[in-house]
Structure 1
């Protein structure tokens, strides 16, 4: 089977789950062509991401003349089909927040993608995220390209389902992937009931080989790690407020913030404001080996998000034998079981977050270890990348 993966910007440090899915498919004997509209804008610190960038074809690098020639060839080959795809692009553009012009650009990209897939003999296209990559895949299919599917992660897609034409994309797809049951329920709100059976739950996966038998929990004061882009929805500012509360009773508590982004200055200022420079460390983006090392040095992953799909870092923390303190949102409760694999708190409540961190600090070490073992067993049973990639392949072949 030859699958073209249609992506917006790839690779990105926060999209390692796409890389794992692609490589799992390849390990199972399938051919995967990587087609991204553009390269990611974040620096690539992981050698695997560097390798993926070298293996990816970037559509916009083809140049304006090549892209326009793809449009001309598409029109001349099948004028009626091209005009139908143009009407679809216009219809989606009028609903969209990004406007008509961008959707005409997506049509141009789709013409190039269609011809590239035809030349490469790709028989199916799969996009990640229900945004522009899925639009390009849908328009490519309308132009005569391969049938498509796409994975919806959330939360961005659920914030603007009509503007993204999610219902249209589901209806035209061969199948649509939700990464959680919660996600499937949200897609079912925008797709007609006659299309619900197209919506499949396929989890994002981890590589169990990367997570050998976990190291024992560290001794000493409570240590937490939070991983993610420095943006509002990830809630790092709330985590700093919770740390300010926690250190009143646990003055040696420590939080490592891994990531970077537009809120870095605000985060640095909040740390100084609360006099927490000795309690909070910022690392910037790091590679997967460093992430595992930081998880092993901590007692728990802190996930104070306001909106999510189901974060990969939760799976990685549990696989590493660490507990999770997360907000009770979206698909997270499908993996984190309160007082069995961690603690769940209401989103936006710094006091509740601090109380959960304090609960971990006062939990007996043997209880923490037992909970961590339960967490590891649960995630390995539900989120093996090879198993989940095989589900994708089976849905494509069905």
Structure 2
């Protein structure tokens, strides 16, 4: 395939976004030439394994380059060879500002970054830009495209952008994108709500995926071991797990919760654990590599994710691929992955009693754990395998580049 693709996101590689790394690797396996770009350089804490370190070493960092006056000026002089396009990008930056001095200043920072990115793409012979996370990095992608003529597409995740779609001009980004990869029907419906119907035909569904083979190992669950993987942020609902742990512990002396991840709420959660006298039952494990998470899944009784807002969490796919039963909330695109009582257990968000009841069912019923675990793996293999999703995304890149885009929302599920 002659396409040369650049991937852009705000921070790459990041420990919380390993699905982007998997997608890049799967596209390369499909035969596409893919180079990675990141607005900011990630810290060492995100380089949890050799894959992340290798990707970080090969990634172009936009902001770091833009901080060099010589390189920034050179990039804008190169862009000025198409003065009409540069001026259109300037007007677009001004027009899509959400208002206010600070926000408008950021728009001009994005414009500066767009010229640096455009020069890099031209120098590397890259012919298409794909962006993940439709906020500031997607603004840079949109301005870069207007300035250079290099087309862009993006993957729409949510949920946070759906809280401020007008601030981030989701309508403008959809209108100007070659196509949009929505991670779920729910995400696509939100895109439809904030865009002109003339553009709905280019809203396709591309799932984030996992490699089921990585998790196809004999499970050896220890008794009453709960696992949470995600950012330690308020939106994840972790304090409810502490309440469940306290109330179920008398009937399950070995009950233990391992929290994998880090975030702004870690200190307050550690303090809460001490106040509730739960420190011996909770492990704050910090960030872990993909391989380390796979190892933790081998001994987990269940993976629990009591979030208040989500897209379609990849960690659920990982657990299901490992035949680990999942307990999570009935929100956004989650029911498109987890069928309640079949491939996992769904509870209303914020309902600690329902969460406790669901976890209790799994702790008491080994047959239920086995059945939902097997069904979960079949579900991931059919609709959320990274090689299958990468082939579909590659078909979108190729079809739109050739002017004959696929007309379906997504391909048929594998069996």
TM-score bucket of the superposed structures, by smaller chain: over 0.9
- Alpha-carbon deviations, 1:185-226, whole Å to 9, x = none? 1111101111111111000011122122x3245253x22100
Over 3 Å counting, the alpha-carbon distance change for 1:359 and 1:367 in structure 2 is closer
1:335: which partner in 2?
337
Does structure 1 conserve the Cα–Cα contact (< 8 Å) formed by 2:90 and 2:111? yes
Over 3 Å counting, the alpha-carbon distance change for 1:21 and 1:41 in structure 2 is same
C-alpha distance in 1, partners of 2:285/2:118?
A: 41
- Structure 2-normalised TM-score? 0.92
- Structure 1-normalised TM-score? 0.95
Does structure 2 conserve the Cα–Cα contact (< 8 Å) formed by 1:96 and 1:164? no
2:61: which partner in 1?
58
Does structure 1 conserve the Cα–Cα contact (< 8 Å) formed by 2:227 and 2:258? yes
Does structure 1 conserve the Cα–Cα contact (< 8 Å) formed by 2:98 and 2:166? no
Does structure 2 conserve the Cα–Cα contact (< 8 Å) formed by 1:96 and 1:163? no
2:410: which partner in 1?
none
1:142: which partner in 2?
146
2:288: which partner in 1?
286
Does structure 1 conserve the Cα–Cα contact (< 8 Å) formed by 2:11 and 2:39? yes
- Alpha-carbon deviations, 1:38-67, whole Å to 9, x = none? 112361212110010011011122223211
Does structure 1 conserve the Cα–Cα contact (< 8 Å) formed by 2:212 and 2:380? no
1:85: which partner in 2?
89
Q: SS of the counterpart of 1:301?
A: strand
- Alpha-carbon deviations, 1:98-151, whole Å to 9, x = none? 601111111111111112111211111100010111111111110124111000
1:68: which partner in 2?
73
1:344: which partner in 2?
346
Alpha-carbon deviation of 1:81? 1.4
Alpha-carbon deviation of 1:73? 2.6
What is the correspondence of 1:302-321 to structure 2 with a 5 Å cutoff? 302-321=304-323
C-alpha distance in 1, partners of 2:72/2:236?
A: 37
2:377 is the counterpart of 1:376: yes
Q: CA RMSD in A?
A: 1.5
C-alpha distance in 2, partners of 1:145/1:36?
A: 20
2:100 is the counterpart of 1:109: no
1:157: which partner in 2?
161
Q: SS of the counterpart of 1:143?
A: helix
- Alpha-carbon deviations, 1:250-284, whole Å to 9, x = none? 33311111111111111111111221122211111
C-alpha distance in 2, partners of 1:335/1:217?
A: 24
* Greater CA drift, 99-108 or 57-66: 57-66
C-alpha distance in 2, partners of 1:79/1:303?
A: 51
Q: SS of the counterpart of 1:48?
A: helix
Q: How many residues align?
A: 394
Alpha-carbon deviation of 1:174? 0.4
Does structure 2 conserve the Cα–Cα contact (< 8 Å) formed by 1:118 and 1:145? no
What is the correspondence of 1:1-398 to structure 2 with a 5 Å cutoff? 1-41=3-43, 43=45, 44-62=47-65, 63-75=68-80, 77-95=81-99, 99-212=103-216, 214-218=217-221, 220=223, 222-363=224-365, 365-398=366-399
Over 3 Å counting, the alpha-carbon distance change for 1:238 and 1:173 in structure 2 is same
C-alpha distance in 1, partners of 2:270/2:89?
A: 48
Does structure 2 conserve the Cα–Cα contact (< 8 Å) formed by 1:95 and 1:165? no
Alpha-carbon deviation of 1:352? 1.6
Does structure 1 conserve the Cα–Cα contact (< 8 Å) formed by 2:362 and 2:368? no
Q: SS of the counterpart of 2:96?
A: helix
